[in-house]
Structure 1
Amino acid sequence: MGERLKELRKYLGLSREDFAKKLGLKSRGKIENIELGRTVPDDDFLKLICTTYKVSYDWLVSGDGNMFMDDDGDAQAIVDSVMTGDNEFAKKILVKFAKLSEEHWKQLEEILTELESN
């Protein structure tokens, strides 16, 4: 995984420090330790990398598939990020949306269409 992280960082043209900063880290040490195989990141940190850089989780963890997510993978990463985050209101909203009936989805679509036209 360390080699794939390094490959990603190089592909993006980022130093370890810049890569780490965008993830909210204060120094490059954690990135360096992962790249050199000194540590294995936990799942939450891997998801943060995937969400931040729109990287495929499967590719990062196992090398399977493409480096970057397609649109469906991006949506899944966003849902995963919200559901594992601290924002309880956002979690409730996603759960409510998941339970909407087809009729309610149509109503929502009408509301959004109306808002876009104003």
Structure 2
Amino acid sequence: MENLGQRIRMIRQGESRASFSSRLKISPASLQRYETGQRLPDKDFLERLVADKKICPKWLLTGDGPMYQGSDAQVVSAPKMTDMSVILEGDLPQHTDFISSEKSKMTDTSVILRLTEKCLQLSTENGDLRVEVERQRARIIELERQLVEALKAPQGRQNLLDTGRAAAG
């Protein structure tokens, strides 16, 4: 078998895509993308596939060695696949629906980092401004309350007039 997708299709052996994908806890569309090479499966799916079909992990990832566990005296159980370097180092493309240019393969993450930092800075400033607005609103409410109290008391009116004259003149 030439690639991982073809090996997954071979393992399925005519079983319906819906049944196979349901048992392995993925969508039929994901299974189709794995089989056609449009997407690479994640580690969890590969572990479930190895356990479900008793497949040798090395064969699944590389096509080398026996297909089934126990076909070779040295292979008796499925080890955990924590190392995905076989997939990552290979020439298997990870296609996405919206990226197809060569330039996008070498994305400069510094742009993303700068934008993230700017977003964080703006969020902090926004929060600070909201706090200041709430303080100002509370101050306005307090001043309005004091004004109402001053206007109710006869002595308070005179004090307000005197304060106003002193400020103006």
Q: Which runs of 5+ in 1 are unaligned?
A: 84-118
Taking the aligned partners of 1:76 and 1:6, their CA distance within structure 2 comes to 20
CA offset digits 1:54-101 (Å, max 9, x no partner): 111111111011111118645344xx38x9xxxxxxxxxxxxxxxxxx
Counterparts of 1:71-90 in structure 2, within 5 Å, are: 73-77=75-79, 80=80
Which ranges of 4 or more aligned residues in structure 1 deviate by more than 3 Å?
71-74
| AA at the equivalent of 2:59 | W
* Greater share of residues in helix: 1
Counterparts of 1:24-63 in structure 2, within 5 Å, are: 24-25=25-26, 27-63=27-63
Taking the aligned partners of 1:40 and 1:64, their CA distance within structure 2 comes to 18
Identity of aligned residues (%): 30
TM-score, normalised to structure 1, is: 0.56
User: Are 2:72 and 1:69 equivalent residues in the alignment?
Assistant: no
TM-score, normalised to structure 2, is: 0.40
**Largest Rg, 1 or 2:** 2
Higher relative contact order, structure no. (Cα contacts within 8 Å, ≥ 6 residues apart): 1
Taking the aligned partners of 1:38 and 1:21, their CA distance within structure 2 comes to 20
Q: CA RMSD in A?
A: 2.3
| AA at the equivalent of 1:58 | K
Taking the aligned partners of 1:33 and 1:44, their CA distance within structure 2 comes to 16
Task: Give the conservation status (yes or no) of the 8 Å contact 1:58–1:65.
Answer: yes
Taking the aligned partners of 1:22 and 1:74, their CA distance within structure 2 comes to 23
| AA at the equivalent of 1:75 | S
Displacement, 1:39? 0.2
Taking the aligned partners of 1:6 and 1:37, their CA distance within structure 2 comes to 11
